[in-house]
Amino acid sequence: MPPIIKKVIAVFTLLVLVNVGFAWYGQASFEATLKTLGKAFVENNATATENDNLPDTIEKYLAATRADRSDYTTLALQFDGDYYKKPSKAMQMHALALLRPTPDMLWGIRLSSNPIVTFNAIETYHTGRATMQMLLFGIIPTGELEGERFARSELARVLAYAVFNPRLLPCGCISYESIDATHTKATIRDGNISASVTFISDENGRIVEIQSSDRARPLKRELLPTQWRMAIRSYGDYDGLLLPKEVQEDWIVDGRAIPCSRYTLTSAERL
């Protein structure tokens, strides 16, 4: 083998080993940070008043999910699937979410487009403030989102994700308006901000679709208010609860669905 080829192979091998080591160290650092945040989140004993006047669609969903006879202070969820940075470019996604029966959430997300390069994200929503930080290899900051528009978008997400966190639905911070037998508009208020979604139910009381115009789509370092839709394809049993299993989220632009993410709930644990 010519010496130049040997040198190229040696340099390539070294770069691969360095990247793998860097990724391993970064992932370990990210997971340690997430563990610390998660511990503080779980130990937060905040409570909220409950709404005793729920519409039939929400009462039926609480019964269908068995949340009317299940209690928890925190729900730990894990998801696997694809995240679409662009419609034609999917990245593998693994996510851990911690949700409470209050308008709070913590997300740890790992995205990878190949076995070496990984991005991590930490997203939080608490008391009217939302932040997201993106990290290459778990340690190199590559982007951050915050501000009122992002907070409203994430508050809408907190409300939409009540399908995974049904004990949030009776929260006194949420008001409801029945549109018809299957459509219910919900509005959540947290301090000075509010956000709304529309829950669409089937004849069995399960919510099968959620729509919102209060979400914001990250695009070229901007947040653009964009119609958003979550479609629930199936349900599964998790720790005594019946929760959405297969889910697809889309942005709706000019009547056209642009994929945001497709994922499966792999585990749920009541804490």
Q: Which residues contact 204 (CB under 8 A, 6 or more apart)?
A: 64
% pLDDT > 70, the chain: 81
Check if the beta carbon of residue 177 is closer than 8 Å to that of residue 166. Answer: no
Residue that wins the pLDDT comparison between 30 and 13: 30
Enumerate the β-bridge partners of residue 75.
99, 270
pLDDT tens sequence across 62-110: 999 999 777 888 999 999 999 998 888 899 999 999 999 999 999 989 8
Of 147, 128, 148, 130, the residue nearest 190 (C-alpha): 128
Torsion (CA) 259, 261, 262, 263 in degrees, nearest 10: 180
Residue 36 is classified by DSSP as H
CB-based contacts of 110-114 (< 8 A; 24+ apart in sequence): 110/27, 110/30, 111/83, 113/89
* Residues with Cβ within 8 Å of residue 194, at least 6 apart in sequence: 152, 155, 187, 188
pLDDT of 20 over the 50 cut: no
pLDDT of residue 169: 96
Over residues 139-162, the pLDDT tens digits come to: 777 889 999 999 999 999 999 999
Chain segment 27-52, per-residue pLDDT in tens? 455 455 556 656 666 666 667 788 88
Instruction: Provide the pLDDT for residue 1.
Output: 54
Architecture of the domain made up of 3-270 = Clam (2.50)
Query: pLDDT band at 14, cuts 50/70/90?
Result: very low
Q: Which pLDDT score, from 0 to 100, does residue 10 have?
A: 41
How many Å apart are CA 227 and CA 212, to the nearest integer?
Answer: 6
* Confidence band for 205, pLDDT divided at 50, 70 and 90: very high
User: Residue 58: CB partners within 8 Å, gap ≥ 6?
Assistant: 169, 170, 176, 184, 186, 199
| Band of residue 16 on the pLDDT scale cut at 50, 70, 90 | very low
